[in-house]
């Protein structure tokens, strides 16, 4: 791996920076204040190719490599984490699952519409009683002559109120534990399917979050993504991509904290000079810069492994763990540099802190990432009683 971006990757990064600054940044504060899920902006991101960045071109995607994808996600994340969440869910959790597990028919039916943004998808894994223990799904799928009947509930589902279809993970045979799970492609307009908005979140006010209810929703056999029994692997492989995307978005938050803090420290004067001239302020800027670069390198390493087709689950967890925790520290420090001005939304740093907080929770808590890393180091599965 070398640390130079290709000319094409640099162009992708510059284009994503100018799109994000021109289109996303100007709307981020109002969307946050108004809890507005900005579908117009989602359509613009789709037109840029961001919702299908890593999807092969034959299915309507941009066919980019994972490293290039991280550059886009970083720039969108630098502008607004709510919009970054859209890219991560649509591209990493939904589209990449279809690419990896879909039949040719499913890919042709779904992917062009996912990439164009005509259809939003959502990822129905988490349930009210099932978070970290993802294998323990309470949602049930019962075999019928016509296909399957699904019943259960899902919680904290990004884009669940706007999605045209949902990936729904359900247990087909509780005796088989995780090997009984299946992933279903469920049209959200089907009878028995409903969603409800979740309000009162600390951050990500511009992101749509839902609880889903499935009450005897009937789907056909060809709604299964992968085989019956593959559901857990579908979820885990999606999270390998989703965690990478969250990590890249957090690099964007770190970078935004550095940029905002340097600009503010140069402009703000105390004791007759810019606060940037004080060593204690420079120390805060330096800490943020080091964390940003370290997080980015970890994301790039994971991206390099993905592009090389090598195992990367552990390296993805390392990147996710470090980048999310670093972004929380950076956002907190950025407010410190801004002083009282950082506590209100005239500056974006208070939004960065509120938005970033969820990233050590969703797509696997920091503790889950540590379990994955610890298991790789020791060979011991801490979740299995010894």
Among positions 23, 65, 127, 363, the unique one binding ligand COS when judged by CB under 6 A:
363
Q: At what angle do helices 349-356 and 231-267 cross, to 10 degrees?
A: 160
**Binding mask of the shown chain, residues 167 to 206, with x at each position contacting ligand COS by CB under 6 A:** -----------xx---------------------------
Q: Are 234 and 248 in contact (CB under 8 A)?
A: no
Instruction: Show the site string, 216-245: x = touches ligand COS by CB under 6 A, - = not.
Output: ----------------xx--xx-xx-----
Q: Find the binder of ligand COS among 49, 77, 102, 364 (CB under 6 A).
A: 364
* Minimum distance from residue 227 beta carbon to ligand COS (Å): 12
Q: Phi first, then psi: what are they for 87, rounded to 5°? A: -60, -45
Beta bridge partners, 196, equal: 211
Q: How far is the CB of 239 from ligand COS (least distance, A)?
A: 5
Q: Which is nearer to ligand COS, 97 or 333 (CB)?
A: 97
Of 10 and 132, nearer to ligand COS (C-beta) is 132
Annotated catalytic, 218? no
Site for ligand COS in 95-154 (CB under 6 A): 123, 125-126, 132, 134-135
User: Choosing from 75, 260, 325, 363, which is the catalytic residue?
Assistant: 363
370 near ligand COS, judged by CB under 6 A: no
Smallest separation, CB 316 to ligand COS (Å): 8
Residue 233 vs 289, nearer CB to ligand COS? 233
Report residue 120: phi and psi, to 5°.
-95, 145
Between CA 146 and CA 313 the distance in angstroms is: 37
Q: Which residues are catalytic?
A: 363
* Interface residues toward ligand COS, by CB under 6 A: 123, 125-126, 132, 134-135, 178-179, 232-233, 236-237, 239-240, 313, 362-364, 368, 371-372, 381, 383
């Amino acid at each position: 791996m070398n640390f130079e971006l290709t000319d094409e990757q640099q162009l992708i990064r510059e284009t994503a920076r100018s799109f994000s600054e021109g289109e996303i940044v100007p709307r981020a504060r109002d969307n946050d204040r108004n809890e507005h899920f900005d579908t117009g902006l989602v359509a613009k991101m789709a037109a840029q190719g961001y919702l299908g960045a890593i999807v092969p071109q034959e299915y309507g995607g941009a066919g980019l490599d994972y490293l290039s994808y991280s550059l886009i996600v970083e720039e969108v994340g630098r502008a607004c984490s709510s919009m970054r969440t859209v890219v991560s869910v649509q591209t990493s959790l939904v589209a990449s699952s279809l690419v990896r597990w879909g039949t040719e028919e499913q890919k042709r039916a779904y992917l062009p519409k996912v990439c164009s943004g005509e259809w939003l998808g959502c990822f129905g894994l988490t349930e009210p009683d099932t978070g970290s223990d993802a294998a323990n799904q309470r949602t049930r799928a019962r075999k019928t002559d016509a296909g399957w009947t699904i019943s259960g509930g899902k919680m904290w589902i990004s884009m669940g109120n706007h999605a045209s279809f949902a990936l729904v993970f359900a247990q087909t045979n509780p005796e088989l534990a995780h090997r009984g799970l299946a992933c279903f492609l469920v049209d959200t307009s089907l009878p028995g399917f409903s969603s409800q908005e979740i309000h009162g979140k600390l951050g990500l006010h511009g992101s749509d979050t839902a609880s889903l209810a499935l009450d005897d929703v009937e789907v056909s056999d060809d709604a299964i993504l992968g085989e019956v029994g593959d559901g857990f692997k579908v979820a885990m492989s999606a999270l390998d991509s989703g965690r990478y995307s969250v990590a890249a978005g957090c690099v964007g938050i770190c970078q935004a904290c550095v940029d905002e803090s340097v600009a503010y420290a140069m402009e703000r004067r105390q004791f007759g000079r810019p606060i940037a001239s004080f060593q204690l302020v420079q120390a805060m800027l330096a800490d943020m810069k080091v964390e940003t670069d370290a997080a980015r390198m970890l994301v790039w390493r994971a991206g390099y492994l993905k592009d090389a087709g090598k195992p990367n689950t552990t390296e993805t967890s390392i990147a996710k763990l470090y980048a999310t925790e670093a972004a929380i520290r950076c956002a907190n420090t950025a407010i410190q540099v801004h002083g009282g001005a950082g506590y209100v939304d005239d500056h974006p740093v208070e939004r960065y802190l509120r938005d970033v907080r969820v990233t050590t929770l969703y797509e696997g808590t920091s503790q889950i990432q540590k379990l994955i890393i610890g298991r790789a180091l020791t060979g011991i599965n801490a979740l299995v009683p010894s």
